Amino acid sequence: MSNATAASSATGPAPAPARASRRKVSLRKRVVYALGPLLWIGPAVGLIAFVVLWPVVVMVRTSFQKVSSYGEIKGSNGWRNFTNLFDELAFKGVVERTIIWVVVVVALTMLISLGLAQLFNQQFPGRRITRWALIAPWAASVLMTAIVFKWMLTPGYGLINVLLHDVGLLKDLNGASADPLGKASTAMPWLIFVAIFVSLPFTTYTIMAGLSTIPGEVYEAARVDGSSRWHTYRSITLPLLRPALTVATLINVMNVFNSFPIIWAMTHGQPGYTTTTTTVFMYILKGKDLGESAAMSVVNFGLVVIIVALFLKISRWKTEVD
Amino acid sequence: MATLAAEMPAVTTRTANKKRQGRPTWKTVVLVVSAYVVAFLFVFPYLDMFITSLRPQSELQTTSILPGHYSWSSYSTLWKTGLGTNLKITLMVSAGATILVLLVAMPAAYFTARRRFRGRMAFLLLVLITQMFQPTAMLVGIYREFLSFHLLNSVWALILVNAGFNMAFAIWILNAYFSSIPKELEEAAMVEGSGRLGALFRVTLPLAMPGVVTALVFTFIAAWNEFIVALTLMQTPDKQPLTVAINGFIGAYNIEWQHLFAASVIATIPVIILFAFIERKVVSGLTAGSIK
């Protein structure tokens, strides 16, 4: 900033005869100005190009290629990978399930997190320890969490089953109802439960971060005005939390949409395709037909792009980085 | 009006004193109890993970909540199964990705925080978009790309992918920290004789240290926990990180759960402890990084 103004004030009052040589200098200067930033941001741009952008190009190209089961390219396949994908019997169900999966998990996560953030924002003895407990599912690998839940739902002796049995909610420890992951109607709710479980810490922390940016005087004023707690929360806290809620919702949508380890570890998308989302379907197709799998990825990716674009529009991010 | 204002503080301090001195109100009790119950629920699965890893083989399939005997043998036999190699891979990938992010994100974050240059907006938009994307969405592309570069089964592939996808978050956090440090501090140091780089290393970096640590710990944990890219790129068992190796336990005909969970404990506890260290920074990091 200061350099730019210095340069313009130096060139401003220069006499006319020196114009030719000055243009040379300013050209060189301009090259330096243009390349200078590259020194600092070049490596970052390079890494993004290699790891993020290049795979997108390769993926889109693959979606139009015929790929043998050994991974060899057998020439162009036109739109056939896409038509094959849309013709898959499971496709429609997979897409519908993905939408339900994302909406239900994110909505419930946001609601529960609003409550948890309120709770853990209070002062009480041992708050530090409870907050440490809260971050465990965030720090731990989602895969490990999913595996433990699968273990706790094992028929016969899984801990959740045993506890449900002890309370009287589960009649037969070895019956069909003790294998919730083996049945379509109960597998999905449990997957949703685990997805919410691992999403809560991040969301709660983001909302707590949002709460910490609300100045105390605002509440003071509300109290003087005599508004009730619930009214204060609805008319002051929630509107001021909007930026935090927007960010948390978006990041959760991305995470849940792309979520793979939970479903993969707990059900592999089974029974049938009843717990398969688009991401899992992409992975299953990868073993059968790489071209069709790439087509699924492109469809997935298109949805991600739409979500990101919507977010950029809503959040007006430019005002934040200026 | 004046009397009301004068009375207000007196009333609040009186109630506050009553709360502090007298027995806790039922409201506080409910609050504390529910907080502890919620906290317990959040560590519950990891407790069961730990307890299962200590169960002897004979007590694995019982309905008792706690085992009658505890045994550490799963941990000692674990090393014989070659899991040490997988742990080494995980460590190499996490450390490598963290160092790479440090080297790449710091200059970029510093420069975008200090200078307004052409393409700054484009760069920040690129970073933001990268942050939104996840490797899962472009798995086929990543697989084919590294296949064509002959980087399958290479630790470098995982280092690059993990660094690439976590760098965006690091740049955001560091950018926010660098922006919050007044330029004048640096300029003062430069007047006193340190060069630009000297001022950067002696003044700015120490002040931005909390941000740096947060960014690095986040990257380390994300790389440590990464699963799907490693599952796709690392196909020989001795090149697989812990997550893939543990997932491999499940595929086996006889799942040795106590071994699986001993491995899971080793894969989980270090990151939970690491995260607990930066817990207090997380809120400020999130505020700075995304919701200013």
Closest CA to B50 of B28, B79, B71, B25: B71
Number of domain units in chain B: 1
Q: Is B240 within a domain?
A: yes
**Contact residues, chain B, for A173 at CB < 8 Å:** 63
Backbone angles phi, psi at A67, to 5 degrees: -120, 130
- For residue B200, what is the domain's CATH number? 1.10.3720.10
**CB burial class (10 A; 0-12, 13-18, 19+) of residue B171?**
buried
- Tell me the per-residue pLDDT of A120-162, one tens digit each, with 9 for 90 and over: 888 888 888 888 888 889 888 899 999 999 989 988 888 888 8
Asked if B152 reaches chain A (Cβ–Cβ under 8 Å), the answer is no
pLDDT of residue A18: 46
Distance between CA A175 and CA A30 in Å, rounded? 76
Which single residue is written with the structure tokens 């040490």? B84
Dihedral angle at the C-alpha atoms of B185, B186, B187, B193, nearest 10 degrees? 120
A308: closest CA among B192, B137, B274? B137
Per-residue pLDDT of B171-207, as tens digits, reads 888 888 888 888 888 888 777 777 777 888 888 888 8
pLDDT of chain B along its 292 residues, tens only? 333 333 344 444 444 444 455 667 888 888 889 999 999 999 999 999 998 888 887 777 777 778 877 888 888 887 777 788 889 999 999 999 999 999 999 999 888 888 888 888 888 888 888 877 888 888 888 998 999 898 899 999 999 999 999 998 888 888 888 888 888 888 887 777 777 778 888 888 888 888 888 888 889 988 999 999 999 999 888 899 999 988 887 766 667 788 888 888 988 888 888 888 887 777 766 665 544 3
B126, part of any domain: yes
Query: Is A51–B161 a contact, with Cβ atoms under 8 angstroms apart?
Result: yes
Q: Match 């004023």 to its residue by tokens.
A: A221
Determine the structural domain holding residue B239 and report its residue range: 82-289
Residue B16 falls inside a structural domain: no
ipTM of the complex: 0.81
Residue from B187, B42, B133, B108 nearest A2 by CA: B187
Polymer length in residues for chain B:
292
Rounded to whole angstroms, the Cα distance separating B250 from A301 reads 30
Q: Is residue B93 part of a domain?
A: yes
Q: Chain B partners of A165 at a C-beta cutoff of 8 Å?
A: 63
Interface probe for B, chosen from A51, A170, A283 (most Cβ of B below 10 Å), is: A51
- Distance separating alpha carbons of residues B203 and B189, to the nearest angstrom: 7
| Contact list, B250 vs chain A (CB under 8 Å) | 147, 150, 265
Interface residue of B123, B134, B136, B247 to substitute, partner A, most A CBs within 10 Å = B136
The shortest CB-CB distance from A265 to any of B31, B247, B286 is to B247
| The Cα angle at residue A311 between residues A305 and A314, in degrees rounded to 5 | 145
Q: Give the pTM.
A: 0.83
Residue B115 lies in a domain: yes
Inter-CA distances, B87 with B153, B238, B248, Å: 15, 10, 14
Determine, for residues A143 and B247 on separate chains, whether the beta-carbon distance falls below 8 Å: yes
Query: What pLDDT digit, counting tens, does each position of A153-207 carry?
Result: 988 888 888 888 888 777 777 777 778 888 888 899 999 999 999 999 989 988 9
Give B24's DSSP letter. Answer: P
Cβ–Cβ below 8 Å for B144 and A58: yes
3-class secondary structure for B195-240?
CHHHHHHHHHHHHHHHHHHHHHHHHHHHHHHCCHHHHHHCCCHHHC
A243–B291: do the CB atoms touch at under 8 Å? yes
pLDDT tens, position by position, B205-230: 888 888 888 888 889 988 999 999 99
